Protein backbone atom coordinates (compact mmCIF):
# COMPACT_ATOMS: atom_id res chain seq x y z
CA UNK A 1 0.00 0.00 0.00
CA UNK A 2 1.23 3.47 -0.91
CA UNK A 3 0.70 6.26 1.63
CA UNK A 4 0.35 9.86 0.48
CA UNK A 5 -0.62 13.18 1.97
CA UNK A 6 -2.30 16.04 0.11
CA UNK A 7 -2.64 19.49 1.65
CA UNK A 8 -4.69 22.46 0.55
CA UNK A 9 -6.72 25.52 1.36
CA UNK A 10 -10.46 26.02 1.22
CA UNK A 11 -10.51 29.55 -0.17
CA UNK A 12 -13.47 31.85 0.34
CA UNK A 13 -14.40 35.45 -0.31
CA UNK A 14 -17.26 37.58 0.93
CA UNK A 15 -19.64 38.66 -1.78
CA UNK A 16 -22.68 40.73 -0.93
CA UNK A 17 -24.38 38.98 1.97
CA UNK A 18 -22.84 35.62 1.25
CA UNK A 19 -19.69 33.57 0.97
CA UNK A 20 -18.21 32.21 -2.25
CA UNK A 21 -15.79 29.29 -2.38
CA UNK A 22 -13.12 28.73 -5.02
CA UNK A 23 -13.15 25.42 -6.89
CA UNK A 24 -10.74 24.26 -9.58
CA UNK A 25 -11.94 22.15 -12.51
CA UNK A 26 -9.67 19.22 -13.32
CA UNK A 27 -11.83 17.88 -16.16
CA UNK A 28 -15.05 15.93 -16.55
CA UNK A 29 -17.08 16.32 -13.39
CA UNK A 30 -14.03 16.61 -11.11
CA UNK A 31 -13.92 19.92 -9.21
CA UNK A 32 -11.94 20.35 -6.02
CA UNK A 33 -10.12 22.80 -3.78
CA UNK A 34 -6.51 23.83 -4.49
CA UNK A 35 -4.25 21.15 -3.00
CA UNK A 36 -1.14 19.08 -3.56
CA UNK A 37 1.71 17.11 -2.04
CA UNK A 38 3.96 18.23 0.76
CA UNK A 39 7.56 18.76 -0.37
CA UNK A 40 10.79 18.36 1.57
CA UNK A 41 10.75 19.89 5.03
CA UNK A 42 7.72 22.11 4.43
CA UNK A 43 5.20 22.47 7.20
CA UNK A 44 1.63 21.58 6.30
CA UNK A 45 0.72 25.25 6.07
CA UNK A 46 3.74 26.05 3.89
CA UNK A 47 2.70 23.24 1.54
CA UNK A 48 -0.88 24.49 1.41
CA UNK A 49 0.19 28.05 0.60
CA UNK A 50 2.70 26.92 -2.05
CA UNK A 51 0.08 24.76 -3.75
CA UNK A 52 -2.43 27.61 -3.61
CA UNK A 53 0.07 29.91 -5.31
CA UNK A 54 1.10 27.34 -7.93
CA UNK A 55 -2.45 26.31 -8.83
CA UNK A 56 -4.24 29.68 -8.65
CA UNK A 57 -1.67 32.48 -8.59
CA UNK A 58 -3.17 33.59 -5.26
CA UNK A 59 -0.45 34.81 -2.91
CA UNK A 60 -2.43 37.04 -0.57
CA UNK A 61 -4.67 35.06 1.72
CA UNK A 62 -5.64 35.36 5.37
CA UNK A 63 -5.45 31.86 6.90
CA UNK A 64 -7.93 31.64 9.77
CA UNK A 65 -6.69 30.18 13.04
CA UNK A 66 -8.59 27.28 14.55
CA UNK A 67 -9.50 25.33 11.41
CA UNK A 68 -7.62 22.30 10.18
CA UNK A 69 -9.73 19.61 8.58
CA UNK A 70 -8.55 16.12 7.79
CA UNK A 71 -10.03 13.09 6.10
CA UNK A 72 -8.71 9.83 4.71
CA UNK A 73 -9.57 7.87 1.61
CA UNK A 74 -8.11 5.12 -0.52
CA UNK A 75 -8.21 4.13 -4.16
CA UNK A 76 -6.54 1.81 -6.67
CA UNK A 77 -3.82 3.43 -8.74
CA UNK A 78 -1.93 2.21 -11.79
CA UNK A 79 1.76 1.72 -11.26
CA UNK A 80 4.39 1.89 -14.05
CA UNK A 81 4.51 -1.86 -14.61
CA UNK A 82 0.75 -1.96 -15.14
CA UNK A 83 -0.15 -3.52 -11.82
CA UNK A 84 -2.58 -1.83 -9.47
CA UNK A 85 -1.71 -0.92 -5.94
CA UNK A 86 -3.94 0.58 -3.29
CA UNK A 87 -3.17 4.18 -2.36
CA UNK A 88 -4.09 5.41 1.11
CA UNK A 89 -4.36 9.18 1.08
CA UNK A 90 -4.71 11.70 3.89
CA UNK A 91 -6.17 15.08 2.89
CA UNK A 92 -5.61 18.12 5.10
CA UNK A 93 -7.24 21.50 4.57
CA UNK A 94 -6.87 24.92 6.09
CA UNK A 95 -9.31 27.75 5.43
CA UNK A 96 -8.41 31.18 4.14
CA UNK A 97 -10.03 34.37 3.00
CA UNK A 98 -8.65 35.68 -0.26
CA UNK A 99 -7.41 39.24 -0.39
CA UNK A 100 -8.46 40.26 -3.91
CA UNK A 101 -9.87 37.59 -6.18
CA UNK A 102 -7.66 37.48 -9.25
CA UNK A 103 -7.07 33.84 -10.19
CA UNK A 104 -4.66 32.41 -12.76
CA UNK A 105 -5.01 28.64 -12.93
CA UNK A 106 -2.15 26.27 -13.66
CA UNK A 107 -1.94 23.88 -16.61
CA UNK A 108 -3.27 21.13 -14.31
CA UNK A 109 -6.74 22.68 -14.46
CA UNK A 110 -9.13 23.68 -17.20
CA UNK A 111 -11.31 26.16 -15.33
CA UNK A 112 -12.20 27.68 -11.97
CA UNK A 113 -15.14 29.46 -10.44
CA UNK A 114 -16.44 30.96 -7.22
CA UNK A 115 -19.56 29.20 -5.94
CA UNK A 116 -22.04 29.74 -3.15
CA UNK A 117 -22.17 27.00 -0.52
CA UNK A 118 -25.02 24.96 -2.05
CA UNK A 119 -23.62 25.04 -5.58
CA UNK A 120 -20.16 24.21 -4.27
CA UNK A 121 -21.55 21.11 -2.54
CA UNK A 122 -23.05 19.95 -5.83
CA UNK A 123 -19.83 20.57 -7.77
CA UNK A 124 -17.42 18.85 -5.39
CA UNK A 125 -16.69 15.42 -6.80
CA UNK A 126 -16.03 13.43 -3.63
CA UNK A 127 -18.28 13.09 -0.59
CA UNK A 128 -15.28 13.67 1.69
CA UNK A 129 -14.71 17.05 0.04
CA UNK A 130 -18.37 17.92 0.51
CA UNK A 131 -18.13 16.99 4.19
CA UNK A 132 -14.99 19.09 4.59
CA UNK A 133 -16.77 22.07 3.02
CA UNK A 134 -19.69 21.62 5.43
CA UNK A 135 -17.31 21.71 8.40
CA UNK A 136 -15.51 24.78 6.97
CA UNK A 137 -18.80 26.58 6.33
CA UNK A 138 -20.01 25.88 9.89
CA UNK A 139 -16.68 27.12 11.22
CA UNK A 140 -17.09 30.39 9.31
CA UNK A 141 -20.69 30.86 10.40
CA UNK A 142 -19.66 30.38 14.04
CA UNK A 143 -17.14 33.24 13.88
CA UNK A 144 -18.17 36.68 15.09
CA UNK A 145 -16.06 38.40 12.43
CA UNK A 146 -17.98 36.73 9.59
CA UNK A 147 -21.22 38.67 9.33
CA UNK A 148 -23.63 37.71 6.57
26 pLDDT above the threshold of 90: no
CA dihedral 83, 109, 90, 137 (to 10 degrees): -150
Domain ranges of the chain: 2-142
The yes/no answer on whether domain 2-142 falls in CATH 3.40.50.150 is no
Angle at 66 between CA 89 and CA 21, to 5 degrees: 70
Rounded Cα–Cα distance for residues 86 and 2 (Å) = 6
pLDDT of residue 21: 97
Q: Round the average pLDDT of the chain to a whole number and report it.
A: 91
Phi/psi at 28 (5° precision): 55, -130
Q: Report the DSSP beta bridge partners of residue 9.
A: 94
CA dihedral 62, 65, 67, 73 (to 10 degrees): 70
147 pLDDT above the threshold of 70: no
pLDDT band at 109 (very low <50, low <70, confident <90, very high): confident
Q: What is the pTM of this model?
A: 0.89
pLDDT of residue 130: 96
Rounded Cα–Cα distance for residues 121 and 131 (Å) = 9
The pLDDT tens digits of the residues spanning 46-103 come to 999 999 999 999 999 999 999 999 999 888 886 767 788 888 899 999 999 998 768 8
Amino acid sequence: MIREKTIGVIIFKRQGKGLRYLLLHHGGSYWNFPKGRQEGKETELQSALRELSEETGINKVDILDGFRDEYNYDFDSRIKDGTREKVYKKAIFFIGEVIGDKVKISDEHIDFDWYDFDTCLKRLFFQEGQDSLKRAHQFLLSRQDIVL
